Amino acid sequence: MPAAFLCFLVIRPPVRAENKLEPGWLIDMADSRYGRCTIHLTSTRVEIDGGFMAYLIQPADYKELIILSRESKTYMRKKIATWLPENYNQKMRYGNVAKRQGVTIAGEPCGSFLCEGEILPSWANKKQRWLPCRVNFSTASRIKLNDGLANALSALSEVPPGYGFPMAATSQCSLGNVHMQRVKSVKREAFADNLFQIPKDYKRVENELEVMLGGKLKKQNVDEMMMSR
């Protein structure tokens, strides 16, 4: 083998995997709960930046939500199925879904659907009084995601799973609007791997109040505050 070729093999720098960009979508969304969000989305993972708080869903467990604060450098892990009822004091169950005329949202063609379901507000928990609820929602036709990720995002949007990435959703019951969201813009983008990872210097805590306050509260104080919500 020529000496020059051997030299090339020795001095060539290794390709660093973390420098590789992953193609996806940069999405601006308005949500009645989370406020204005910037969503960094690929086919297999997502980072939702809500300002002070950020949310990750990773391929290791699409049923788990990672909630973190870039400011306090703390994070927690929570199952999506339990986090939603705990934070928004209600449960949802879905019935029949009817397909409606397609729409275009933020330049993206979308399927449009109406679901007749039920909602159980926290004040009705003891009597198990489920109220009729209608969910109007639209999902992107061209944004193709892993099924597990798409279903996790549907759960966060409180729409039925199996229809793709939610571009807009409005939940209504006899009490009025329960939850509304709508995508404002979508553009193709590529993201670095570290955007979807928990930085090594972040501290894990046990609940959302500790994430917000940097894990500085004593456990007894946190428990008392959580019980008073």
Q: What is the CATH number of the domain that holds 172?
A: 2.50.20
What are 110's strand-pairing partners? 103, 140
Query: Is residue 132 one of the residues assigned to a domain?
Result: yes
What pLDDT score was predicted for residue 5? 38
Query: Is residue 4 one of the residues assigned to a domain?
Result: no
In degrees, rounded to 5, the angle at the alpha carbon of residue 202 between the alpha carbons of residues 48 and 59 is: 45
pLDDT-based confidence at residue 130 (cuts at 50, 70, 90): confident
Query: Is residue 101 one of the residues assigned to a domain?
Result: yes
Query: Is residue 224 one of the residues assigned to a domain?
Result: no
Q: What are phi and psi of 15, to 5 degrees?
A: -80, 125
Residue with more model confidence, 78 or 224? 78
Residue with tokens 């449960």: 91
User: Could you give the number of structural domains in the chain?
Assistant: 1
Which residue range forms the structural domain that includes residue 73? Answer: 21-196
- pTM of the full structure: 0.81
Query: Is residue 227 one of the residues assigned to a domain?
Result: no
Q: Is the pLDDT of residue 204 over 90?
A: yes
**Helices and strands counted in the chain (H then E):** 5, 12
Query: Is residue 1 one of the residues assigned to a domain?
Result: no
Q: What is the mean pLDDT of residues 25-48?
A: 94
pLDDT-based confidence at residue 128 (cuts at 50, 70, 90): low
Query: Is residue 155 one of the residues assigned to a domain?
Result: yes
* Bridge pairing between strands 74-79 and 203-204: parallel
Query: Is residue 11 one of the residues assigned to a domain?
Result: no
